[in-house]
Amino acid sequence: MAVLLDGEMWGPVLSVGDMLDNLHADGALPPTVALLVDTMGRRMEDLSCSGAFVDWLADELLPWAGGRFGTETRPERTVVAGQSAGGLTAAFAAHHRPDRFGLALSQSGSFWWPDDERGTEWLTGQYASAPHRPVRLHLEVGLQEWMLLEENRRLRDVLQERGYDVSYAEFNGGHDYACWRGGLASGLAALLSER
């Protein structure tokens, strides 16, 4: 199962269903139920390491989808994917609820968050100090994303130092869906393919 944050972009605008169908037809992706989660005007509330939002995904959306589509919701077969603040939230979901999200795909994750009295790069600090979670992560960031590149590299380094199963890629591009579309395809295929 794949939970795609910012679903209002992936569905009607970018036709992710066609991409997933093509990946499956090519043998690069097993049959996958994709849940496109619309932000419904709550993007900054929900996609900023919100435990309540991730708990809703884990405790309400996944069980509903499992029953509705007759699919397994095992954490080692469930990926949450997002871009920018959604990438931050995807990595947070794996940290906060590894019992439901064993796979995370973060594209151009906003790992600088928050920039307030708590400091910066809060989630990187959580991965550095909390007990190890049984999750796999794929991070990617654009070489032209000056505000995100170093933060993504630091999270990668922390994950590697802590022994996480993490893959990492840098692409020659910026902060936009034209770059993320290809990365979503390859990231989902890598995380969900049979090992």
Task: Provide the 8-state DSSP code for 5.
Answer: E
Whether domain 2-192 has CATH 3.40.50.1820: yes
Residues contacting 44, CB < 8 A, separation 6+: 85
Q: To which residue do tokens 């997002």 refer?
A: 82
pTM of the complete model: 0.95
User: Strands, DSSP E only, in the chain?
Assistant: 2-5, 34-37, 79-83, 103-107, 136-142, 165-171
Dump pLDDT digits (tens) for 137-183.
999 999 999 889 999 999 999 999 999 999 999 999 999 988 899 99
Domain coordinates of the chain in residue numbers? 2-192
What's the CA dihedral at 10, 148, 53, 19 to 10 degrees? Answer: 20
pLDDT tens over the chain, length 195 residues? 999 999 998 887 788 999 999 999 999 999 999 999 998 888 889 999 999 999 999 999 999 999 999 998 999 999 999 999 999 999 999 999 999 999 999 999 999 999 778 789 999 999 999 999 999 999 999 999 988 999 999 999 999 999 999 999 999 999 998 889 999 999 999 999 865
Quickly list DSSP for 28-78.
SS----EEEE--TT-HHHHTTT-HHHHHHIIIIIHHHHHHHHT----GGG-
Q: To which residue do tokens 């994750």 refer?
A: 109
Residue 84 near residue 110 (C-beta atoms within 8 A): yes
